[in-house]
Amino acid sequence: MNDARNSDQEGEPLRGLQEPVDRKTESPPTSPARARRRYGGRLLALGAFLLLACAVSLGVWRLYSRQQVVAATAEQRFDLVPSVRVATVEPNSGIESVSLPGTTAAFASASIYARATGYIAKRNVDIGDHVKAGHLLAELAVPELDDQISQNESTLKQLRAALDQANANMKLAQVTWDRDKSLVTKGWVTKQQGTVDVQNLQAQQAAVGVAEANVSAQENQLRVLRQDRSYASVVAPFNGTITQRNVDVGSLVQGNTNTGTFLFEIMQTDVIRVWVYVPQDAAFGVEPGVKAVVRVPELPNREFSGKVTRVAEALQSGTRTLLTEIDLPNPDGALPPGAYCMVELKVPRKSQSVIVPADALIYNRDGLQVAVVNDGKAELRKVTETRDLGTRVEVDTGVKAGEQVILNPPVDLANGSKVDPRPEASASGK
């Protein structure tokens, strides 16, 4: 064995001499570990490629699936008929109920002033007293006026005596002329005497006229004084209640026209006026005879029924309201004048309208609309609102009574869309 090894070792140099090795071109032998690493890298690259291919395939499949779902959803949505809630449009009644604040007032009210100057000798009434027409409220002492009346009565007697004297003189002149007239005609009395008799008769007739005028003037003066004297008795002009008293016994009152003393105020309360100002949107239709119900907050369990008695026939330019009066019987005096009250008027409508739920209204760039169900399809219509009633709206154009409107319509609801109506309560809430 040693010899073999030696021979091999000895032969190697010879091969080296015979076959020189080119180290630049000859690759070194590959080791098993390095081969395994190469093989593992190739497997890793192949796995990554396969993983990437799977990911791309999965992504493509998912995208395709989504497109299929979107297409199916769109097709289903296109073919789907949504179920919508609808309500029936109700006709508005021919009577509009309007509640407005009002004020009560006495049917008649009068302020009693003094027409004669004097002192209060007697006062028969006080605040809150109920009086009848002609009832004596107060008596004035007017001594100066009594003296004037006495003096003028004496003057009237003198003037009447003067009238009697003038009549006597006129009769004497008439007799004288009647006697001398025939004598003058026959020439037994001069014409001069006849002229004197005629002129004397005319003078006496004129004197009688003056005396009669004086008597008449004095009678008129005395009548005025007696009328003023009658004002010393202050009486009630109508049945009512004394609401103010400004004098007492012994008070001096003046009877001047402009500065007369304010004595009493009296109000007729068996009938009460109610003043209410009706706004323009409800004024058209208010006329005498319209029914009214008056309620006072302090009388919660009582209602006062009446009718409109009179209207102003013209709206006030500042407030655009119509003054309306209602007369209410008040035999027990439950309604005091000047009280705040609520008035409910049953006003007949001048134009017809319908009621739709507020949930049916659509506000968009096209204005105010509602969606009406017509032959299973939604039909968008413009409406005109006349009054907002909270959960309901009064409109006068666009829809008719009996039609069905969609409640809370979807945002994407288009004109002509198919719908499946599901009835709800009526628009009036009944």
Range 288-313 average pLDDT: 93
| Average pLDDT score over residue span 137-147 | 92
Q: What's the pLDDT score for residue 284?
A: 86
- Check pLDDT > 80 for residue 332: yes
Q: Is the pLDDT of residue 24 over 60?
A: no
- Return the bridge partners of 327, or none: 273, 307
State the pLDDT at residue 14.
39
How much is the pLDDT for 95?
A: 80
Q: Is the pLDDT of residue 390 over 70?
A: yes
Interval 268-288 mean pLDDT: 91
> Average of pLDDT values for 254-264?
83
Indicate if the alpha-carbon torsion angle 129, 133, 136, 142 is positive or negative. positive
The C-alpha angle with vertex 113 and arms to 120 and 268, in degrees rounded to 5, equals 110
pLDDT at 36: 66
Tell me what pLDDT residue 78 has.
53
377 and 63 Cβ atoms separated by less than 8 Å: no
Q: What is the pLDDT at residue 15?
A: 45
CA torsion sign, 257 to 258 to 261 to 266? positive
Residue 344 has pLDDT above 90, yes or no: yes
pLDDT tens column, 83-141: 888 888 888 777 888 899 999 999 999 999 988 889 999 999 999 999 999 999 999 99
Give the pLDDT confidence score for residue 63 in this predicted structure: 82
Give me the pLDDT at residue 5, please: 43
**Cα–Cα nearest to 347, from 100, 87, 129:** 100
CB 423 within 8 Å of CB 402? no
117 compared with 69, residue with greater pLDDT: 117
Q: Where are the alpha helices (DSSP H) in 1-31?
A: 2-18
Q: Which of 37-41, 129-133, 368-372 has the lowest mean pLDDT?
A: 37-41
CA-to-CA distance for 247 and 262, rounded, in angstroms? Answer: 8
Calpha distance 176→170 (Å, rounded): 10
Q: List the structure tokens of 318.
A: 């500042």
Q: What is the DSSP letter of 119?
A: E
State the pLDDT confidence band at 423, using cuts at 50, 70 and 90: confident
Exposure of 203 in the CB half-sphere (CA atoms within 13 A)? 10
Lowest mean pLDDT among 16-25, 61-70, 410-419: 16-25
- Closest Cα to residue 233, out of 130, 110, 132, 124? 124
How much is the pLDDT for 21?
44
Percent of the chain scoring above 70 in pLDDT = 86
Q: What does residue 148 show for φ and ψ, rounded to 5 degrees? A: -65, -40
The least confident of 10-19, 60-69, 276-285, 365-374 is 10-19
Higher-scoring residue by pLDDT: 26, 396: 396
Whether the CB-CB separation of 399 and 383 falls below 8 Å is answered with yes
The most confident of the ranges 235-244, 254-263, 370-379 is 235-244
Q: Which residues pair with 273 in a beta bridge?
A: 105, 327
Confidence check: pLDDT of 7 > 50:
no
Residue 105: enclosing H or E segment and its boundaries?
Answer: strand 95-113
Query: Can you spell out the DSSP letters for 323-387?
Result: EEEEEEE-TT--S-TT-EEEEEEEEEPSS--EEEEGGGEEEETTEEEEEEEETTEEEEEE--EEE
Res 415: pLDDT: 84
Average pLDDT over residues 29-38: 65
| Rg (the chain; Cα; Å) | 60
Over 50: is that where the pLDDT of 323 sits?
yes
Tell me the pLDDT band of 77, cut-offs 50, 70 and 90. low
Average pLDDT score over the chain: 83
Please tell me whether residue 189 adopts helix, strand or coil conformation.
coil
Query: Predicted confidence band at 75 (pLDDT cuts at 50, 70, 90)?
Result: low
Higher per-residue confidence, 200 vs 46:
200
Report which listed range, 64-68, 279-283, 350-354, is most confident: 279-283
Percent of the chain exceeding pLDDT 90 equals: 40
Helix/strand/coil percentages in the chain, nearest 5: 35, 35, 30
**pLDDT at position 247:** 93
Asked if residue 347 has pLDDT above 90, the reply is no
